[in-house]
Amino acid sequence: EIVMTQSPATLSMSPGERATLSCRASQSISSDLAWYQQKPGQAPRLLIYGASTRATGIPARFSGSGSGTEFTLTISSLQSEDFAVYYCQQYNNWPPLTFGGGTKVEIK
Protein backbone atom coordinates (compact mmCIF):
# COMPACT_ATOMS: atom_id res chain seq x y z
CA GLU A 1 0.00 0.00 0.00
CA ILE A 2 1.26 3.46 -0.90
CA VAL A 3 1.26 5.78 2.10
CA MET A 4 0.62 9.46 1.44
CA THR A 5 1.99 11.99 3.94
CA GLN A 6 0.89 15.62 3.93
CA SER A 7 2.64 18.51 5.61
CA PRO A 8 2.15 20.63 7.50
CA ALA A 9 -0.97 19.42 9.30
CA THR A 10 -2.07 23.03 9.76
CA LEU A 11 -1.04 26.15 7.88
CA SER A 12 -1.91 29.52 9.42
CA MET A 13 -2.03 32.15 6.72
CA SER A 14 -3.45 35.59 6.02
CA PRO A 15 -5.63 36.46 3.01
CA GLY A 16 -3.52 37.44 0.05
CA GLU A 17 -0.56 35.29 1.08
CA ARG A 18 0.89 32.43 -0.94
CA ALA A 19 0.23 28.98 0.50
CA THR A 20 2.37 25.95 -0.23
CA LEU A 21 1.11 22.50 0.76
CA SER A 22 3.20 19.35 0.47
CA CYS A 23 2.32 15.73 -0.21
CA ARG A 24 4.81 12.87 -0.20
CA ALA A 25 4.28 9.33 -1.47
CA SER A 26 6.01 6.33 0.10
CA GLN A 27 7.08 5.21 -3.38
CA SER A 28 7.03 6.71 -6.84
CA ILE A 29 3.56 7.37 -8.23
CA SER A 30 4.64 9.15 -11.42
CA SER A 31 2.17 12.03 -11.82
CA ASP A 32 -0.86 10.04 -10.67
CA LEU A 33 -1.93 12.44 -7.95
CA ALA A 34 -5.10 14.40 -7.26
CA TRP A 35 -5.84 17.22 -4.83
CA TYR A 36 -9.20 17.92 -3.17
CA GLN A 37 -10.56 20.80 -1.13
CA GLN A 38 -13.05 20.23 1.68
CA LYS A 39 -14.87 23.03 3.46
CA PRO A 40 -16.66 22.47 6.79
CA GLY A 41 -19.92 20.57 6.33
CA GLN A 42 -19.28 19.99 2.63
CA ALA A 43 -18.12 17.11 0.50
CA PRO A 44 -14.63 17.23 -0.96
CA ARG A 45 -14.20 18.91 -4.33
CA LEU A 46 -11.66 17.94 -6.99
CA LEU A 47 -9.06 20.65 -7.61
CA ILE A 48 -6.19 19.01 -9.47
CA TYR A 49 -5.51 15.69 -11.22
CA GLY A 50 -2.47 14.39 -13.02
CA ALA A 51 -0.46 16.32 -10.40
CA SER A 52 -0.86 19.60 -12.29
CA THR A 53 -4.10 19.74 -14.35
CA ARG A 54 -6.78 21.94 -12.88
CA ALA A 55 -10.28 20.48 -12.82
CA THR A 56 -13.10 22.29 -14.59
CA GLY A 57 -13.97 25.59 -12.96
CA ILE A 58 -11.00 25.70 -10.60
CA PRO A 59 -9.42 29.17 -10.40
CA ALA A 60 -5.95 29.71 -11.80
CA ARG A 61 -4.60 30.67 -8.36
CA PHE A 62 -4.53 26.92 -7.62
CA SER A 63 -1.59 25.10 -9.13
CA GLY A 64 -0.08 21.68 -8.64
CA SER A 65 3.42 20.44 -9.31
CA GLY A 66 5.71 17.50 -8.72
CA SER A 67 6.22 13.92 -9.82
CA GLY A 68 7.61 10.73 -8.38
CA THR A 69 7.27 11.06 -4.63
CA GLU A 70 7.14 14.82 -3.95
CA PHE A 71 4.16 17.00 -4.79
CA THR A 72 3.06 20.54 -4.05
CA LEU A 73 -0.24 22.41 -4.15
CA THR A 74 0.21 26.16 -4.33
CA ILE A 75 -2.47 28.77 -3.77
CA SER A 76 -0.93 31.94 -5.17
CA SER A 77 -3.01 34.46 -3.23
CA LEU A 78 -5.36 33.15 -0.57
CA GLN A 79 -8.96 34.23 -0.80
CA SER A 80 -11.41 33.96 2.09
CA GLU A 81 -13.12 31.00 0.42
CA ASP A 82 -9.84 29.05 0.24
CA PHE A 83 -9.59 28.41 3.97
CA ALA A 84 -10.37 24.71 4.11
CA VAL A 85 -8.80 21.27 4.41
CA TYR A 86 -6.85 19.93 1.44
CA TYR A 87 -6.24 16.25 0.69
CA CYS A 88 -3.97 14.55 -1.80
CA GLN A 89 -4.79 11.13 -3.29
CA GLN A 90 -2.65 8.72 -5.30
CA TYR A 91 -4.09 6.55 -8.03
CA ASN A 92 -0.94 5.00 -9.46
CA ASN A 93 -0.79 1.74 -7.55
CA TRP A 94 -4.09 0.29 -6.42
CA PRO A 95 -6.04 -1.12 -4.76
CA PRO A 96 -6.12 0.55 -2.42
CA LEU A 97 -6.52 4.13 -3.56
CA THR A 98 -5.01 6.17 -0.75
CA PHE A 99 -5.32 9.68 0.63
CA GLY A 100 -3.01 11.85 2.67
CA GLY A 101 -4.08 12.90 6.13
CA GLY A 102 -4.93 16.43 5.03
CA THR A 103 -3.63 19.96 5.55
CA LYS A 104 -5.90 22.51 7.17
CA VAL A 105 -5.38 26.05 5.88
CA GLU A 106 -6.64 28.39 8.57
CA ILE A 107 -6.82 32.14 8.95
CA LYS A 108 -3.98 33.56 10.99
Partner 1 sequence: EVQLVESGGGLVQPGGSLRLSCAASGFTFSSYNMNWVRQAPGKGLEWLSYISNSGSSMFYADSVKGRFTTSRDNARNSLFLQMHNLRAEDTALYYCVRGICTTCDTGRWFDPWGQGTLVTVSS
Question: Shortest Cβ distance from residue 56 to partner 1 (Å)?
Answer: 9
Question: Shortest Cβ distance from residue 16 to partner 1 (Å)?
Answer: 28
2 or 75: CB nearest partner 1: 2
35 or 83: CB nearest partner 1: 35
Amino acid sitting at position 27:
Q
Question: Shortest Cβ distance from residue 85 to partner 1 (Å)?
Answer: 8
Binding site for partner 1 (CB under 8 A): 30, 32, 34, 36, 42-46, 49-50, 55, 87, 89-102
DSSP-assigned letters across all residues of the chain: ---EEEE-SEEEE-TT--EEEEEEESS--TT-EEEEEE-TTS--EEEEETTTEEPTT--TTEEEEEETTEEEEEESS--GGG-SEEEEEE-SS-SSPEE---EEEEE-
14 or 56: CB nearest partner 1: 56
